[in-house]
Amino acid sequence: MMIKLLFVLSLVTLFSILMTSDAYASHFTIPIPQDDHIPGMRSVIDFYVPRNHSVNAGDVITWTNGDSIPHTVTSGKGTSLVKQLKESEGKPDGLFDSGIINPQESWSFTFSEPGQYPYYCILHPWVERSITVLESEHKVPSPRTQIEEGVKPYDVKCNPDYSLVFKSWDLKPVCIKSEHAQKLMDFGWASTYDPYPMILTVPDAQDKAYVTLQGDNKISEVFSEETWETGPNMTYLDISPDGSLLLATSSQSDTIHAFDMESGEHIKNIKVGKTPKGVKIHHTGKIAFVANENSGTISVINLDTLNIVKDIPVGDIPHNIVFHPNGLKAFVTIQGEDKIAIIDVNSLEKTGFIQVGNLPHNLDITPDGNTLFITNIGSNDVAVIDLDDKEIIKRIPVSKGHHGIDIPPTGNRIFVSGIGDDKISVIDTTSFEVIKQIIVGKGPHGLRTDSSGIKLFVGVTQTNEIVVIDTETLKITDKLNPGNTPFWVAIPGNP
């Protein structure tokens, strides 16, 4: 899968958006890239082929199908993977329709009137993009103005020849000359909202997997069998996208243990709130959030200084955290109130709740940021939340909790453990149905795939094993013995 992703990136880069001019109009070429139809590839493709393009009235756009299967370019509203549970197909509006565009064929359309023109593929209605047509010489409002008007940061529009990026230090959107975008990102001044570029560049990510050992009060790297002394009742841990910093919670001592994984040194004990559980490092590597169950707070750690900069009150018994892929929000399970708290990452303030179920425990989010999945201890199910509507659209029964959950970076499947059982539930992200249950041994809890999504590592607490599963065949390929009571797993490149 990693080789395939890198191949797609190279291919899409070759098909970067082109523009030519004549005396009357500009001509744009938009690629339909290889694997554009595959749901798990949406996030990585969006990095190179943005969801919106801005042109001037009278400009001509040509779509070229570089995929291996047919597509269409049809004006109207498509249907996200989530909403296919409610609607079986998209809604064309009749303004334009390419018909079938076979592989290596093209189709062109002239946009004569200013306006917003959403379009989708009838054959794959979850593939949605849009065209913004401006009056000649008309300028798109500034990103700040668009945000003030209620536009989502990652939906901000830019003038032709400009690209949307986010400033690294405050994650605010800005439009810059397209020709300069990659250089500014290389310098670290700007980044995209998509986590895939960082995931793909993690060195040797597939060769590292870390686990908390509750029975030994240690952390272990499962391949090298190297261990680090920590504190009592080790629960959760997370590692930075580049694999250089590891944070782990000692719930009994109210401490975060920080490790420099390049040197292997234990660099600091960070005192946080009462009974810390989930810890999550933001994909910029600048801050981390810690859920303090008996304080009802999220501690925010500045990762440059390893000091607490704020404690955010969120509710009764916060348990774990996930960041939105765009980095602008965090979602927190509030176990004592059956809710999900929403935190604005820029202001570090709680901005709202989503009512979710009976004792929400762990959670994960799809790579495109559209859908949130929450495990519920009280009902032994997974709640599926459409983040556009903030509504539960389905509940998926799984094994007995407590539960762990992981959505691989490829986004094609969901894996759910149940510490009160002996199996892993495998959920298909298109149908939201359990397609298989894999017997791994009694007490599975922590689980993570490697950054390529090829291997799944499951901590089985009662057999003291890490069970390795091939995510394509769904068969067990190995069993490792890291130590006593492996509780939670962290792997670089899988946030």
pLDDT of 155-183, one tens digit each? 777 877 777 887 765 667 888 877 777 77
Instruction: Give 368's pLDDT tier (boundaries 50, 70, 90).
Output: confident
Q: Are residues 440 and 342 in the same domain?
A: yes
Q: What is the rounded distance in angstroms from the CA atom of residue 28 to the CA atom of residue 365?
A: 34
The answer to whether residues 68 and 151 belong to one domain is no
Could you tell me if 118 and 152 lie in one domain? no
Residues 99, 235 share a domain? no
Verify that 117 and 210 share a domain, yes or no: no
Count how many residues are written for the chain. Answer: 495
Rounded CA separation 320/298 (Å):
9
Number of domains in the chain: 3
Q: What is the pLDDT of residue 138?
A: 59
Both 171 and 287 in one domain: the answer is no
- pLDDT band for position 333 (50/70/90)? very high
- The answer to whether 213 touches 234, Cβ cutoff 8 Å, is yes
27, 106 Cβ separation under 8 angstroms:
no
pLDDT value of residue 437: 97
How many CB atoms sit inside 10 A of residue 431's CB? 13
Domain region containing 178: 140-194
E strands, 126-264, where? 128-134, 162-167, 173-177, 190-191, 210-213, 218-221, 226-229, 234-239, 245-250, 255-260
For the record, the structure tokens of 373 come out as 């999945």
The alpha carbon torsion through 108, 113, 117, 121 (nearest 10 deg) reads: -20
pLDDT band at 77 (very low <50, low <70, confident <90, very high): confident
Which of 194, 224, 240 is the C-terminal boundary of a domain?
A: 194
Among residues 154, 175, 194, which one ends one of the domains?
194
Please say which residue of 158, 173, 194 terminates a domain: 194
Average pLDDT over residues 375-383: 96
One domain for residues 133 and 263: no
- Higher pLDDT among residues 326 and 192, named by residue: 326
C-beta of residue 52 within 8 angstroms of C-beta of residue 130: yes
Residues 50, 96 within the same domain: yes
